[in-house]
Structure 1
Amino acid sequence: MVIRYYILVFIFLNSCSSSKGDSFEFVVLPDTQTLVEEFPEVYMNQLQWIERNKERFSFVLHVGDITQNNSEEEWQVAKSGLSLLNKKVPYNLALGNHDMGSEIGKFADTRNTMLANRFFPHSEYISQSNSIATFPKGSIDNNCAEYDLVGQKWLVFSLEFGPRNKTIEWVNGIIANHPNHKVILNTHSYMYNDNTLQDGNDWYLPQKYGVGKDTGAEAVNDGGQLWEKLVKPNKNIIMVFSGHILGSGVGQLVAKNNYGNTVYQMLANYQKNVKGVEKGDSGYLRIIKVDKKTNTISVKTYSPWLDKFYTNPEHEFTFTNVEI
């Protein structure tokens, strides 16, 4: 009986360990700009909840527009929240149009990210973000983290608003040097709320901001251009996350790259003035689960502040037959 008991315990523990190794979860933190500006208690609640669940999540992605006005006061709030995760849950930040500019209230008129880099110093940031590379050198404007999950190496890129041609070249170079890694892209502006890439005559294109006037290596790229220059040509990019867009604030697009591999692309934004969250104090975030055993990527939308899941189909869904 004793031997049988220990065998059963061994099988149970082995099963738990195997199950844990077959999947991982991470958080996508949509635009926090109006939370940081008007509802800091909701923002802090989001980060406190993630910290309490630190054993559950492998990392956190912030899609950008961390602040509303790119002010010292708002960056201090943002820093206070994200610092709760230091040495507990790695976080990777994409900088949005509201996180750069020549002065308060000037959104991406210039690519000035001085405050973001002051409040998240490069050496401090890379020590807790799993970053293996940043661009430009010495800044956090674009960063690449590496993770070892479900028996697979992953690269996670968080890219600036309107990634420049030279930024795309940097990303392509790193991916080329890691041909067997799965890749996740996180950038502020990529998808539109009609389930298409942001391009053409869509609103809020990077080209319509001050930074959009630059040319050559400094020229910005919208969602359609990022797909053609970066996502489509790389066989191992599996997911793309973005925010920025209002209206419904959500979208999803599944498409094949040049190699016939499927890319899962998602938009999520729950700031003030997005349909359904007009007050902006709901505090919704996204929980992504990648399951190698079932070949699925599942997406849930949850508010720690409301302790409520947003279960409409556009907010809770599962991709099946995923090659992980």
Structure 2
Amino acid sequence: MNVRKKTVLYLMLCFLLVACQQETEEITFVLLPDTQTYAEKYPEILDAQISWIEENTENIDLVLQQGDLTQNNNDIEWQRVQKSFQRLDNKVPYVLAVGNHDMGSGPGNFADERNTTLFNKYFPLDKMSALPAYGGTFEDQKLDNTYYVLETGRQKWLILSLEFGPREAVLEWANEIVAKHQDKLIILNTHSYMYSDSTRQGYGDNWRAQGYGVGQDEGQDAVNDGEQIWEKFVKKHPNVRFVFSGHILNNGVGTLVSVNDAGFPVYQFLANYQEGVKGSVKGGNGWLRILKLRPKEKRIKVETYSPYINEYMDDEAHSFHIKEVFLRSGY
């Protein structure tokens, strides 16, 4: 066999090995819901979560936080949150969301107005836009509504992080962004969407954005709850595949698989362990969500783990598998 044929065979073998590795890869997302009680009372717990992520960056593709980073929207709490998350800079892509406790006219005034000055002070766009995966924003110099682009092996992703009670204008922008990225699977990360009975938050449910001061805005500034976000945005696009949210108390968890207008499944998850959730200890005791996606097996494994106490939750609401999952951008 001549040198040229050997080279061709070698390159073909390398290609097959890489393709096989990509097809069997495990894609891992880590969810950090509602860190507000840690920011207020137990910063050591958030530090434990971040330390665990740092130690496992080689096995984590993306970190998503679902809003309510702080409890009281004050400088002390924002400094704690900033100090923790900046440890992940250029180590693993991370996405932050704005919750109702992260906006308002001042400490203790939660979402009475859409003021996110402190959030954008401690996570300024000029700094955040330089980090891995950043794509663009809805408003100049504001991180409130942002999208990110990411590749994991053969899969391309676009992650949209939208404000608490996203406005009509924001959903219109989100529709435009997704329409331009049909080659990617879409993740929606937002503070309030699912309810604790495993349905989307809607009329009659507690803690809707309509019940806060920002909920009185009208026109293009009118807010939307989970069911409205589904109707006006999520279900319209064949490639929107995941929705992650927090915010809701009661038992703090919910899981829903819905079929969009194109006939494809959308996997929607609520996870929240903050103070006020049934059974909560120390505002969550460090519980976070780990989603392990296995494209070849068409399977998602969901785990709930606390680096702070080094334990897993083993009940079916917090540890489960979803099978026959569609995970390719070819829909």
TM-score by length of 1: 0.94
User: C-alpha distance in 1, partners of 2:79/2:249?
Assistant: 25
Name 2:4's counterpart in structure 1.
none
Q: Which residue of 2 aligns with 1:127?
A: 130
Shift of 1:275: 1.4
Letter in 2 for 1:238: R
Matched with 1:201 is 204
State how far apart, in whole Å, the 1-side matches of 2:307 and 2:253 are.
19
Q: What is the 5 A alignment of 1:277-288?
A: 277-288=280-291
With over 3 angstroms needed to count, the CA separation of the structure-2 counterparts of 1:20 and 1:302, relative to structure 1, is farther
- TM-superposed deviation, 1:15: 8.4
1:180 aligns with 2:183: yes
In 1, Cα distance between equivalents of 2:132 and 2:320: 28
Q: Distance in 1 between matches of 2:20 and 2:269?
A: 30
Deviates more, 1:20-29 or 1:183-192: 20-29
Conserved in 1, the CA contact under 8 Å of 2:39 and 2:46?
yes
TM-score by length of 2: 0.92
Matching residue of 1:137: 140
Q: What's 1:23 paired with?
A: 26
**1:261 pairs with one of 259, 264, 284:** 264
Letter in 1 for 2:253: V
The CA distance in 1 between the partners of 2:125 and 2:289, in whole Å, is 27
Shift of residue 323 of structure 1? 1.2
Runs of at least 5 residues in structure 1 that lack an aligned partner in the other structure: 1-9
Which runs of at least 4 in structure 1 moved beyond 4 Å after TM superposition? 14-17
Cα distance change of structure 1 residues 16 and 38 upon mapping to structure 2, 3 Å threshold = farther
Could you list the per-position Cα deviations for residues 65-97 of structure 1 after superposition, in whole angstroms to 9, with x for gaps in the alignment?
000000000000000110110010111111000
| Inter-partner Cα distance in structure 2 for 1:276 and 1:160 | 28
* Aligned positions, number: 315
The answer for the alignment partner of 1:5 in structure 2 is none
What is aligned with 2:164?
161
Tell me the secondary structure at the aligned position of residue 147 of structure 2.
strand
State whether structure 2 residue 221 is matched by structure 1 residue 218: yes
TM-aligned CA deviation for residue 23 of structure 1: 2.2
Q: 1:313 to 1:281 in 2, by over 3 A?
A: closer
Q: Secondary structure at the match of 2:130?
A: helix
C-alpha deviation, 1:150, in angstroms: 3.3
Offset at 1:136?
1.2
Letter of the 1:76 counterpart: Q
8 Å CA contact 2:23–2:295 kept in 1: the answer is: no
Letter in 2 for 1:175: V
* Counterpart code for 1:292: P
Q: Contact (CA 8 Å) 1:21, 1:150: kept in 2 or not?
A: no
Q: Deviations over 1:218-257 (max 9, x none)?
A: 1100000000000111110001000000110000011100
Cα pair 1:273 1:279 within 8 Å, conserved: no
Output aligned runs, 1:94-109, within 5 Å. Answer: 94-109=97-112
In 2, Cα distance between equivalents of 1:269 and 1:307: 18
In 2: Cα distance, 1:301 partner to 1:98 partner = 24
Q: Unpaired runs of 5+ in structure 2?
A: 1-12
- In the TM superposition, residue 180 of structure 1 has moved relative to its aligned partner by 1.8
Alignment of 1:37-116 (within 5 A): 37-116=40-119
CA-to-aligned-CA distance 1:29-82 (integer Å, 9 cap, x gap): 010000111111111111111011111111110000000000000000000110
1:46–1:283 Cα contact (<8 Å) kept: yes
Percent of pairs with identical residues: 47
Structure 1 match to 2:3: none
Give 1:123 shift: 1.2
Q: Secondary structure at the match of 1:45?
A: helix
